[in-house]
Amino acid sequence: MTWLRAQGVGDPEGAASFAANAPLAALEQAAFAEARAALAELLSDPELDPVRGAELCLGPPLAEVLMWMQKWTYDLLRLRSGAAPRYHPHAGARLERLAQRLDPLSVARYGARVARARALALHPLNAKLVLEDLLIRYRELVTAQGAGGAHG
């Protein structure tokens, strides 16, 4: 943490956690801290606007944004199964509120969808369309439509 702090990382603990405690990756990801925070705020709202959300996510490379979405989804699954969040420890309360109402199988399916999109991230697709599609699916997941099987 001392090294990350010396490099100017404002939240070295959070950056290290997000980068699986890899210091160089944490330093690299620190450049996107504001964009990651905006995405976490967006994903915390079950009534998010997918079109507006996609526009907000267009700054960083698409592969980075999709990796962040994968990590958010992974943390939702961890919380739903009783474990602590791995990549977003500071967002635990927001994640917990969402995770409690979600069907784990639906979350896993959404995670697979994000993984498929990430595999195509370097393809010259329209990044905004990819993000809009994923955010529409995410909104379906975290609203009553997607949370219907969350009781089990």
Instruction: Give the pLDDT of residue 73.
Output: 96
Rounded to a whole number of angstroms, the CA Rg of the chain reads 15
For 46-103, the pLDDT digits (tens) are 999 999 999 988 889 989 999 999 999 999 999 999 999 999 988 888 899 999 999 9
The mean pLDDT value of the chain amounts to 86
Q: What is the mean pLDDT of residues 107-135?
A: 86
SS (HEC) of the chain: CHHHHHCCCCCHHHHHHHCCCCHHHHHHHHCCHHHHHHHHHHHCCCCCCHHHHHHHCCCCCHHHHHHHHHHHHHHHHHHHCCCCCCCCHHHHHHHHHHHCCCCHHHHHHHHHHHHHHHHCCCCCCCHHHHHHHHHHHHHHHHCCCCCCCCCC
For 25-44, the pLDDT digits (tens) are 888 888 888 888 899 999 99
**What distance in Å separates the CA atoms of residue 148 and residue 151, rounded to the nearest whole number?**
8
Q: Is-above-0.85 flag for pTM?
A: no
pLDDT above 90 for 4 = no
Residue 7 — pLDDT band, cuts 50, 70, 90? Answer: confident
